[in-house]
Chains A and B, each alone.
Chain A
Amino acid sequence: MANDLMKALSGALVDEADELSLGELCRSCGVHAEYIIELVEEGALAPRGRTLREWRFSHEQLARARRALRLQRDLRVNLAGASLALELLDEIERLRARLRRYDPWC
């Protein structure tokens, strides 16, 4: 462990332009494609591209899919509930950003 501490690790900055296919997204989240398709149908994820084959997900979408997954697993909400929670959390984040103008520590 001391070794790890001595040298600084340089990682690759994940480029926002990098996108994932449906298969890559599934592998990264450890879920079946059906689950991701349902999230898209629910409107919780919005990939670029029209057909399943063409679907491309940004890294932001990947983080979103993982979040939905954790909410479902930990809080026993269903897909629609997780999608609603994601939207409300987005809204809270937007409001917090505006509030920060008056209170940087909120």
Chain B
Amino acid sequence: MEYKDYYKILGVDEKATQDEIKRAYRKLARKYHPDVSKEPDAEARFKEVGEAYEVLKDPEKREAYDQLGANWQAGQDFRPPPDWGAGGFDFGGGGFTSDDAAAYSDFFESLFGQRGRRAGGAAGGAGGFRMRGSDQRARIHIDLDDAYRGATKVITLGVEELGPDGRVRMKQRSLNVRIPKGVKEGQQIRLAGQGNPGMGGGEPGDLYLEIAFNPHPFYRVQGKDVYLTLPVAPWEAALGATVKVPTPDGPVDLRIPPNSKNGRKLRLKGRGIPAKQPGDFYVELEIALPPADDEKAKEVYRYMRDHLPFNPRAHLGV
């Protein structure tokens, strides 16, 4: 397993005071909280920071950790020293830590024991205590195309599992999940019985997968509606035209009405996400200027200048 440098994770000095450690932790916890941060590895960072704080906030654990010595480097292959715990510390028995939210790393557990939640203890012996497992939630990232056509995605989750010693541990588990056609951002898929295991023979909870879309290079999604910014030539906007427009369903012909202004929104009804009540597809016109980089183009621009009474700044009063 890897040695973890808890000081480095919190960005503090080894001589940092308890107050400095607390401040560093609180700041990083806010920064990486998965509900606040948009960074893709926020959850992992948040857990790491929590683990570092769990050790460094406690003077006894911190002293023990410090005694491991400065010989270790972050990421180095680590094995606890044979005399670990001989110096008057005793973390070996497990059940030492208080937090129940996070699963700690192997490194942490080799030093301070597993988190002490005895789930099976009560369930095993004493009088038929049954409890349904809790529901689990996870987010699944899909492409917009998947929402139009449906897809099958593999998702890897950390799940709680009851070990033979009656202790809850985290395990990796992969599921192959069908994404139905017509899902939209934030919508949830419920997989009955795929949540956390129950206790004492209770049934497992459900798994809820929340849909999130990967960003698309040119489509934007808002609820069931999909938006596209469509570049058009000035004469297409001015004179009207029929142009090819890409949609996630394949290209369609779109009629641009004459005298269209920049930013005009055109709606293709029912061509948004194909939900029960399908969303719409919106095209926003963006007039692209042809470059005046050869004599021919310059000539056309000069002709327009001399023949069109056009003042784009009229509304500015100049």
Contact = CB atoms under 8 A, between A and B. Distances in A.
Interface of A: 1, 4-14, 16, 28, 30, 59-60, 63, 66-67, 70-71, 73-75, 85, 89, 97, 100-101, 104-105
Interface of B: 26, 29-30, 33-36, 46, 101, 134-135, 137, 152, 154, 173-178, 180, 182-183, 186-192, 194, 207-210, 215-218, 220, 222, 227, 229
B23 to A, nearest CB: 13
B209 to A, nearest CB: 7
B161 to A, nearest CB: 12
A59 B184 CA distance: 13
Contacts of B135: 28
Given A71-B35, A101-B229, A63 B175 contact: no
A4 to B, nearest CB: 6
B106 to A, nearest CB: 20
B176 A7 contact: yes
A85 B188 CA distance: 23
A104 B35 contact: no
A6 B174 CA distance: 10
B186 A63 contact: yes
B35 A8 contact: no
B189 A12 contact: yes
A5 B29 contact: no
A72 to B, nearest CB: 11
Contacts of A104: 215-218, 220
Kindly name the residue among B188, B189, B191, B210 whose own CB sees the greatest number of chain A CB atoms within 10 A.
B188
A89 B216 contact: no
Given A5-B174, A71-B35, A11 B209 contact: yes
A9 B140 CA distance: 14
B189 A13 contact: yes
Given A9-B194, A75-B30, A104-B217, A14 B175 contact: no
B157 to A, nearest CB: 11
Contact of A89 (B29, B36, B189, B218): B36
A9 B186 contact: no
B9 to A, nearest CB: 17
A8 B186 CA distance: 21
Nearest to B38: A96
Contacts of A97: 220, 222
Given A4-B175, A11-B190, A74 B210 contact: no
Contacts of B36: 71, 85, 89
B222 A4 contact: no
A101 B26 CA distance: 34
A92 to B, nearest CB: 9
Given A11-B209, A104-B215, 5 more contacts: A12-B190, A59-B188, A74-B29, A104-B216, A104-B217
Contacts of A105: 215
A75 B179 CA distance: 34
Contacts of B217: 104
Contacts of A67: 35
Contact of B215 (A5, A7, A59, A100): A100
Nearest to A14: B188
A5 B191 CA distance: 15
A100 B217 CA distance: 10
4 nearest CB pairs, A to B: A11-B189, A11-B191, A14-B188, A8-B176
Contacts of B188: 13-14, 59, 63
Contact of B33 (A1, A10, A75): A75
